[in-house]
Amino acid sequence: MAFDPQAIRAEFPILDRQVNGKPLVYLDSAASAQKPRAVIQAISHAMEHSYANVHRGLHTLANETTEAYEGARNKVAAFIGAEPSEIVFTKGGTEAINLVAAGLGARLQTGDEIVLTQMEHHANIVPWHFLRERLGVVLKFVPVTDDGQLDLEAYQRLLGPKTRVVALSHMSNVLGTINPVTDMTRMAHEAGALVLLDGCQAIVHKPVDVKAIDADFYVFSGHKLYGPTGIGILYGKAEQLAGLPPYQGGGEMIGTVTEDAISYADPPHRFEAGTPPILEAIGLGAAIDWMSGLDREAIAEHEHRLYARVRDRLAGANWLKVLGEAPGKAAILSFTVEGAHAHDVAQILDRYGVAVRAGTHCAEPLMRRFGVTSSARASFALYNTEDEADAFVDALTRTQAFFA
């Protein structure tokens, strides 16, 4: 259907509520997006009408639930241009990255190099630090320029004969920078390295074709994509998944088990030990169905108009420092207010019903790069309106007055 911000907004029940006597202005979607009725109803329907554990059951409810669960895998695959066998369900983007890091770590050696960037979320830093601590691999970080872009010349210099993995964000959760991941993947492959992309932010705001990008692994979470929490996606090229050892042991991921030996299932089930996030996968499938019916280009234009409106109204505010002004960035505004801690800014904004994130945004290296200890972040989504953009600016101006 055609994109209509007001009609879309009406599909999110929570947006009707008030906070501190003010209409809710939810600008924290980069942390976790709200859920449309289509997702809420899909999960409720599954629980009320057709729930059982998946796969090995032979009764009607088990068969219906298995069909819905594996149907969600098919929807995810189609959404990003992959094959269903290349889609692993995890409990989130963080677990997906940990799964890959643990699997690749089984064949890395002391002195092998992993290239990251200064703008990574901790979820795409800490698992690689585990390998540094335990195996002695070397971590190298691509620097970020003053306007929030990656220094591609520095990136090229960091790639070398010892580079085994490049792991980077498709889109920064702090800066909104959209990185040239297709070119960066090609450069990494030319150096003989594997590539993992953290797509948790990008998947929400732009179409993703994993085959066109040619990344070896691509991860994202469901709760930012208007789906439920507790569900994440690992895409891996078939040959790459086949080469990874199991991440966890238990039911579903085995072929056979005896007292003397075990064999493992083929991907993707090799990496889905135990009872999987059944309802969450069904909910994510519903979110993808819902998203697929929208004009994503029109959504992106709408979000950018909101961001531009806010920036225009705040032009000349010498008390405001904005982090990241990369060309073509997504509609994320990370900022500091002179004389104020980000936590205080967020708490005062909440008095006006405006919800923003505050802190390091799980990106401490990036905070240090820009010389701040924390920032506030307003992230715009398809359900936000021009009136909400104005309400945010008005509330922020009043908030600044507390510290002037």
DSSP 179-227: --HHHHHHHHHHTT-EEEEE-TTHHHHS---HHHHT-SEEEEESTTTTS
Residue 216: pLDDT band (50, 70, 90) is very high
What pTM value is reported for the model?
0.97
Question: Are residues 30 and 357 in contact, defined by beta-carbon separation less than 8 angstroms?
Answer: yes
Mean pLDDT of 216-228: 98
Q: Which of the listed CATH numbers 3.40.640.10, 1.10.240.10, 2.130.10.10, 3.40.718.10 matches domain 41-292?
A: 3.40.640.10
Mean pLDDT of 225-252: 97
Residue 92: pLDDT band (50, 70, 90) is very high
Q: pLDDT tens-digit profile of 36-58?
A: 999 999 999 999 999 999 998 88
Return the closest-CA partner of residue 166 out of 123, 114, 127: 114
Q: pLDDT tens-digit profile of 2-45?
A: 578 899 999 999 999 999 999 999 999 999 999 999 999 999 99
- Residue among 24, 139, 362, 372 flagged as catalytic: 362
**53-57, 292-296, 350-354 — which is least confidently predicted?**
53-57
Concatenating the DSSP letter of every residue in 269-317 gives: GGG--SS--HHHHHHHHHHHHHHHTS-HHHHHHHHHHHHHHHHHHTTT-
Q: Could you give the C-alpha distances from 6 to 157, 262, 279, 384, in angstroms and in order?
A: 48, 55, 29, 9
Give the model's pLDDT for residue 398: 96
User: Which residue's structure tokens are 């923003």?
Assistant: 356
Give the model's pLDDT for residue 122: 98
Q: Could you give the C-alpha distances from 342 to 29, 72, 376, 394, 398, in angstroms and in order?
A: 18, 39, 5, 17, 15
280/263 Cα distance (integer angstroms): 28
Give the model's pLDDT for residue 338: 96
251/183 Cα distance (integer angstroms): 40
Give the model's pLDDT for residue 4: 87
Q: Which residues make up the CATH 3.40.640.10 domain(s) of the chain?
A: 41-292
β-pair partners for 332:
379
Mean pLDDT of 245-272: 95
Give catalytic status of residue 362 as yes or no. yes
Give the model's pLDDT for residue 404: 81
124/219 Cα distance (integer angstroms): 10
Q: Which residues make up the CATH 3.90.1150.10 domain(s) of the chain?
A: 5-31+295-401
284/272 Cα distance (integer angstroms): 17
Give the model's pLDDT for residue 28: 98
404/398 Cα distance (integer angstroms): 10
Mean pLDDT over the full length of the chain: 97
Mean pLDDT of 321-325: 97
288/286 Cα distance (integer angstroms): 5
Give the model's pLDDT for residue 57: 82
Give the model's pLDDT for residue 2: 59
CATH classification (class only), 5-31+295-401: alpha beta
Q: Is pLDDT of 1 > 70?
A: no
Give the model's pLDDT for residue 56: 82
Give me the percent of the chain exceeding a pLDDT of 70.
100
Mean pLDDT of 378-384: 98
Question: Are residues 115 and 158 in contact, defined by beta-carbon separation less than 8 angstroms?
Answer: yes
Residue 221: pLDDT band (50, 70, 90) is very high
